[in-house]
């Protein structure tokens, strides 16, 4: 297959289709994923082509979805579950953190749980309450779970393939505000490691780390800084929240001497705090300024008309960059 320009949502659909074609043990399940094709149409056409026993419409019960997926995984299947919106995952939190995350360790490694939990997350679409959360840190704190999030269509395609092939449970956060962003996808390409960060813009004055929906904002900030005053910002897409590729970050920070971490989730106890602490330990003698963080506020996600004030947009990211450069 030749490379094709497609939206991130289409890349996910193509990835699921490829997984279903390749492995008869792969199942897709969730609320309205079948006939409707999902709220965001990520699973559009899959039930029609693969049948109701492979693409399964479930009851409106997230705990039941994950509990059923655990049982299927124990029987040798590879279920890919969909949680309709980020804020709906919490009824399933018990199943995820007390069962899914712990069964491999509880069985001394004899039980594998290849379950993927797809969760559209983040803001930027003007949604109502409980539809714009960024709960990645709540799951990253739990040992036994892998947490990844793509920022572009190519990564969406390949990272979902790799998550489905993984024998460990993977929570796959999809930046819903980027579903319609387009990019090149080469189904014949060779992907890098699932949990490896990547440098998406080279620079020498400061490292700006982001993931998921914030990568696009970080790239815009780097372009604006270069145009305004020639500041050279290196942008790193972390891609994985657990585990985190600290080696790639360290190499960048040893070169630039400064680090800003951006994410939509609240800064307080967010994943950026772990990045800041680890890089401070590993790069203490290279840092020319403290590691700074920019993200959401420590408050419930606001109504849609106020979300632009809550999310870390271009101006707030550039302000944080200026503070880091001022030291």
Give yes or no: 141 in active site.
no
- Other Cβ atoms less than 10 A from the Cβ of 241: the count is 25
- Candidate list 130, 131, 195, 298, residue with the active-site label: 131
Name the strand (E) or helix (H) holding 316. Answer: helix 314-326
Token pair listed for 212: 């998921």
Is 56 within 8 Å of 29 (Cβ atoms)?
A: yes
Sign of the four-CA dihedral 173, 212, 179, 296: positive
What pairing do the DSSP bridges indicate for beta strands 26-30 and 55-57? parallel
* Strand extents, DSSP E, 163-224: 170-175, 182-185, 198-201, 206-210
Torsions phi, psi for 126 (to 5 deg): 70, 35
Please classify residue 39 by burial: count the beta carbons closer than 10 Å to its beta carbon, then call 0-12 exposed, 13-18 middle and 19+ buried: middle
How many helices (H) and strands (E) the chain has is answered by 12, 14
* Strand extents, DSSP E, the chain: 4-7, 26-30, 55-57, 78-82, 116-121, 146-148, 170-175, 182-185, 198-201, 206-210, 233-237, 240-242, 259-266, 292-296
Q: What is the DSSP string of 68-90?
A: HHHHHHHTT-EEEEE-SSGGG-G
Compute the distance between CA of residue 222 and CA of residue 314 in angstroms, rounded to an integer.
9
Torsion of the alpha carbons at 279, 280, 282 and 283, rounded to the nearest 10: 100
Q: 325 preceded by cis ω (within 30°)?
A: no
Residues tagged active-site: 131
């Amino acid at each position: 297959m030749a490379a094709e320009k497609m939206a991130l949502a289409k890349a996910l659909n193509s990835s699921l289709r490829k997984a279903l074609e390749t492995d008869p043990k792969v199942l897709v399940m969730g609320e309205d994923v079948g006939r409707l094709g999902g709220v965001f149409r990520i699973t559009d056409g899959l039930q029609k082509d693969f049948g109701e026993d492979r693409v399964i419409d479930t009851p409106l019960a997230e705990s039941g979805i994950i509990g059923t997926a655990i049982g299927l995984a124990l029987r040798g299947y590879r279920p890919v579950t969909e949680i309709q919106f980020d804020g709906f995952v919490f009824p399933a939190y018990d199943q995820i953190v007390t069962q899914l995350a712990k069964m491999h360790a509880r069985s001394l490694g004899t039980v594998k749980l290849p379950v993927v939990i797809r969760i559209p997350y983040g803001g930027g679409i003007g949604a109502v309450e409980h539809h714009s959360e960024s709960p990645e840190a709540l799951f990253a704190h739990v040992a036994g779970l892998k947490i990844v999030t793509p920022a572009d269509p190519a990564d969406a395609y390949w990272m979902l393939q790799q998550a489905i092939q993984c024998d460990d449970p993977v929570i796959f956060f999809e930046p819903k505000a980027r579903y319609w962003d387009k990019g090149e996808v080469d189904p014949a390409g060779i992907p890098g490691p699932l949990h490896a960060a990547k440098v998406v813009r080279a620079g020498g004055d400061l490292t700006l780390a982001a993931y998921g929906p914030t990568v696009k904002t970080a790239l815009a900030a780097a372009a604006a800084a270069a145009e305004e005053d020639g500041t050279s910002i290196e942008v790193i897409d972390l891609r994985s929240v657990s585990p985190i590729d600290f080696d790639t970050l360290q190499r960048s920070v040893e070169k630039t001497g400064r680090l800003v971490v951006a994410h939509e989730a609240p800064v307080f106890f967010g994943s950026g705090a772990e990045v800041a602490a680890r890089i401070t330990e590993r790069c203490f003698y290279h840092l020319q300024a403290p590691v700074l963080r920019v993200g959401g506020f420590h408050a419930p996600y606001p109504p849609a008309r106020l979300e632009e004030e809550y999310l870390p947009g271009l101006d707030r990211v550039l302000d944080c960059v200026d503070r880091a450069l001022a030291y």
